[in-house]
Amino acid sequence: MKARVHVMLKDGVLDPQGEAVRHALGALGFEGVGGVRQGKVIDLDIEATDRPEAEAQVREMCEKLLANTVIERYDIEIV
């Protein structure tokens, strides 16, 4: 099975990379961009027999390594 994890900073957490991108877009002439949040996407190939098992494995991976759950949130897609 394949899994895709979207990791983003939680609301209210300062995003300096997002702010740098917003500033750069303005410098390139893209006006009207009020805010940018930057995150990451992680694609995984999982050897699981069913969807609930795959989701449980990926959730454990996120909690232990893939996301800093103090400041980040994550969403899991099993495809």
For residue 61, CA distances in Å to 7, 33, 41, 57, 79 come to 12, 34, 14, 6, 17
Model confidence pLDDT, tens digit, residues 14-72 = 999 999 999 999 999 999 999 999 999 999 999 998 999 999 999 999 999 999 999 99
Task: Output the pTM of the full model.
Answer: 0.88
Kind and range of the H or E run holding 2: strand 2-9
Distance CA(55)–CA(49), nearest Å, equals 11
| Residue at token pair 């454990």 | 60
